[in-house]
Structure 1
Amino acid sequence: MIQLFRKVLCPIDFSEHSLAALDVALKVAQQNDAKLYLLNVAPMPAGAAGFQPVPLDPYPYLEKERQEQLVKLAREKIPGSVRYETLVVNGDPAKQVLGIARSIEADMIVMGTHGRKGLGHLVLGSVAERVVRESPMPVLTAHSKVQVRKAA
């Protein structure tokens, strides 16, 4: 059997979309006997003067809390036969996903996308879009099956 992917990175923000991506990443890891890396990037608040993130000093308690959440998720979702590692970092999400992917020499990134459009996309941007655009390795995006209904 040819192993196409040895290391799969799956960014997790605990949204329905990232959990859907985890399901896909898990299948890829199982089919390829690959190691699965779960990554959480702690959020940065928007700046008061604009929409640029304000850098914050790392908060060890936040990283510890996120790490605990990620480990709990991994224990619930990932079978014992799959090798995995959990990582928590602070900073700009797209930049951190790309940086971690390079540092672990990932063969593939599997991530959720919120599918925002219009003003929401303009204001919030798209982490997945930036990762897809700048990644040197394949990126597979996934949506959750949850449909958001607009009020009538």
Structure 2
Amino acid sequence: MLPIRTILYPTDFSDAASSAFELACALARDYGATLIAVHVIPPPHVFAGDGMGIAAPVEDPEEAAARLAALGTSGHGGRFEYRLLDGDPTEQILKVAGDTSADVIVMGTHGSSGLMRLLMGSIAESVMRKAPCPVLTVRGQFHRPLDSSAPRAAQEVASV
């Protein structure tokens, strides 16, 4: 079995990333590994149409840094570092993975498919294809409806 000394955890602060964080923390505890969280602020995009341009909202770096720092106090308990970077998320994640000699990357994935994936691409997929180490992707939590009466009612109607 390969030793795991450094775990890289890229985050976009989504639900899928939160699920990946739980797993990354568990691995870091089990292996006594350093956990490195990284968040990349992408360059602003301008969407143009009909002669009008609309800039995508730019993320607040101070807020992102505070969220990253808060991860270190959220119960991991081991060695924790974080990096806040600008640029292309895939390129920056791969650079940090190489610079830190990460043994594994644990990241969330949104599971986009079809047209959205074609248009937007998948950062997780790009990282998996180019990473210098294994990549473990984690989907967000499965959410069951709080009210389960509708399926039950449908079963009752179907049985009549």
For residues 8-60 of structure 1, what are the alpha-carbon distances to aligned partners after superposition, in whole Å with 9 as ceiling and x for unaligned? 0000111000111111111111111000001011132334469xxxxxxxx9x
Look up the SS of the partner of 1:85 in the other structure: strand
User: 1:148 and 1:62, CA in 2 relative to 1: closer, same or farther beyond 3 A?
Assistant: farther
Instruction: Give yes or no for contact 2:108–2:124 (8 Å, CA) kept in 1.
Output: yes
For residues 90-113 of structure 1, what are the alpha-carbon distances to aligned partners after superposition, in whole Å with 9 as ceiling and x for unaligned? 011111100011011111100000
Bigger share in strand: 2
Corresponding residue for residue 100 of structure 1: 96
Alignment TM-score, normalising by the size of structure 2: 0.77
Q: CA deviation at 1:62?
A: 3.3
Q: How much identity, in percent, do the aligned residues show?
A: 36
Output the amino acid matched with 2:117: H
Corresponding residue for residue 139 of structure 1: 135
Q: CA deviation at 1:147?
A: 4.6
Distance in 1 of aligned mates of 2:102 and 2:81: 13
Instruction: Give yes or no for contact 2:29–2:76 (8 Å, CA) kept in 1.
Output: no
Corresponding residue for residue 54 of structure 1: none
> In the alignment, which of 71, 76, 81 is matched to residue 78 of structure 1?
76
Q: Across the two proteins, how many residue pairs are aligned to each other?
A: 137
Output the amino acid matched with 2:68: L
Look up the SS of the partner of 2:3 in the other structure: coil
CA RMSD of aligned residues (A): 2.3
Query: Which structure is larger by alpha-carbon Rg, 1 or 2?
Result: 2
User: 1:91 and 1:32, CA in 2 relative to 1: closer, same or farther beyond 3 A?
Assistant: same
Look up the SS of the partner of 1:142 in the other structure: strand
Distance in 1 of aligned mates of 2:8 and 2:118: 26
Alignment TM-score, normalising by the size of structure 1: 0.81
Output the amino acid matched with 2:36: Y
